[in-house]
Amino acid sequence: MHALVERLYPLCRSITGDGVRATLEIVGEHLELDVHEVPTGTQVLDWTIPKEWNIRDAYIKDRAGNRVVDFQRSNLHVVGYSVPVSATMTLAELRPHLHTLPAQPGLVPYRTSYYAETWGFCLSQDTLDGMDEGPYEVVIDSTLADGHLTYAEHVVPGRTDDEVLISCHVCHPSLANDNLAGIAVATALAGRLKEPRFTYRFLFAPGTIGAITWLARNRERTGRVRHGLTLACAGDAGALTYKRSRRGDAPIDRAMALVLRDRPHTVVDFSPYGYDERQFCSPGFNLPVGSLTRTPYAGYPEYHTSGDDVGFVSPRAMADTLEALWAAVEVLEHDGRYENLSPYGEPQLGRRGLYGSLGGRSDTKQAQMAMLWVLNLSDGEHSLMDVTGRSGLPFRAVAEAAAALEGAGLLKRVGEGA
């Protein structure tokens, strides 16, 4: 995962353009992708696909010909969607187009101007403080023209048409945590899935406009989405944070609460601000989609700055995010409702070989308790998630107990859980 982040990091992504295509080409080396191109001017819900932006070079040169600010060193140096510029300007003339972080003088900020035709440069406050009055040669070699918005899907077919939607955004330039770590973790999760119960749809799309475009083009499919997550900020050192869906008590909300129960974590209620969960949870769709991050957006000093580089994310943190996601997948895949076929008194487990099968296990007591809890709550109304929540036991132990009891003829599966 970290190697994928390193490879994607230099590419200049935006909400449209060749940087997005190059990103998806690399992801496509790991997953089979269905890539979609939606033309400029296409109406998508209340929005319109914008012009496509591409950039080849940009710089501010001093009188000696030195590039004081150089897009080739960092693609954060140019405000996203800047229109072409070729001019000679004094520092005073340049200043309205320069963006810095005075409180973090060594860092370069990330800025965009998607829907207003303007231009600008981002630089460190230290660099700005070292600039004289000029004049400077100012060049942005970019194009803003009719083109396409690009997004991609990877689908892992399941035994049912009911879907789990995993979404991550592909629109940020060189920002390792807020963008690339989510792409890398989603790619790894997709590669791990083998013959699941649900169909898993992985969406790699530009933020906001990409999710809106997918929703506009897939209205008929949204009814199949049983569970969903947006994935971002997946590689920093902070604890995991889960943001509930708009529904607040959807199965994905309950599953993530169980998964995070024994890990350092934070759970927050839904709000209509953040990543693309706000599009999926808009009232007309109201999909059961939550959001998983480590430190949330704007919650760390490096957020949307050059400090969010490949060294800021770690293999260990991304692996931890991946394992939490995998644990959630196991909950969603194996949840179900059962009926106890011997509900009058506690059935004798020993003569059915159920206690004997636990001999020598390090978790014998836990496995026995899981059997007793599953038997007691298997009334056709409670799911395995219900059993897990009430017993305090790990979901895996509860699911294994249900499988053993069903195999012994003591349980019958009567319905889906999640």
Annotated binding site for Zn(2+): 172, 178, 304
Q: By C-alpha distance, which of 60, 70, 78 is closest to 17?
A: 78
Summarize the annotated binding site as residue ranges.
172, 178, 304
Place of tokens 């060193």: 73
For 206-285, list the strands marked E by DSSP.
Answer: 225-231, 240-243, 265-268
| Residues in Cβ contact with 160 at an 8 Å cutoff, skipping those fewer than 6 apart | 197, 198, 199
| Residues in Cβ contact with 394 at an 8 Å cutoff, skipping those fewer than 6 apart | 262, 366, 388
Q: Which conformational region is residue 208 in: left (phi greater than 0), alpha (psi within -120 to 50 degrees), or beta?
A: left
d(CA 399, CA 384): 7
Secondary structure letter of residue 223 according to DSSP: G
Q: By C-alpha distance, which of 46, 59, 47, 55 is closest to 18?
A: 55
